Amino acid sequence: MSEERPVHGGRVVDDEVGRVLVSESAIQARIAELGAEIAADYAGERPLLVAVLRGAYIFLADLSRAIDLPVEIDFMAVSSYGNATTSSGVVRILKDLDEDLAGRHVIVVEDIIDSGLTLSYLRRNLANRGAASVEVCALLVREGRQKVDESLRYIGFEIPPDFVVGYGLDVSGRYRNLPYIAEFDGGGGH
């Protein structure tokens, strides 16, 4: 953890970005560990990694390279926020999977778990499509915010309930390209 102002590309990021909560090196080290865990757990299998767009795409790219197995990748886009900053609990699928899930071992790759309502819906939805198993790999879990008791098999980091940006997480499309996770001091929501 750093108390210094976040820097990206040699320049200080604007005043809306607060202190760095998870450094780039910590993220990469944890991804290597998660990749090794997944490779060991799915030895001899070809799991399907399903990234939840848009925030999880950077995490998915790094995670998929850290898994020493032949993985396949697909994408879903869902919305449970609308224009709000907290989940409504009503989930809409905006982009569905291209792959058939029948008999597949699916790992949902999420950027951040907040209430767990969207994740709960996704797990049920994917299991109902005939997946052999549905597990979750989340980069971040907000402490104390889960409304649904979800067993999360792979977790990168637990963070305070602060609003964060970076490493795929944004506010109004900005800050996804930061290589670390930082507090967002300008308000708003994912």
Q: Which residues are catalytically annotated?
A: 114
Assess contact for 169 and 112: CB atoms under 8 A: yes
| Token duo for residue 47 | 């799991």
Query: Tell me, what DSSP letter sits at residue 6?
Result: P
Return the CA Rg of the chain: 16
- Phi, psi angle pair for 121, to nearest 5°: -60, -50
Assess contact for 98 and 123: CB atoms under 8 A: no
Distances 25 to 13, 30, 35, 130, 163 between C-alpha atoms, Å: 18, 9, 15, 38, 21
Q: Dihedral sign for Cα 169, 139, 178, 74, please.
A: negative
170, 173, 176: which is closest to 190 by C-alpha?
A: 170
Assess contact for 106 and 47: CB atoms under 8 A: yes
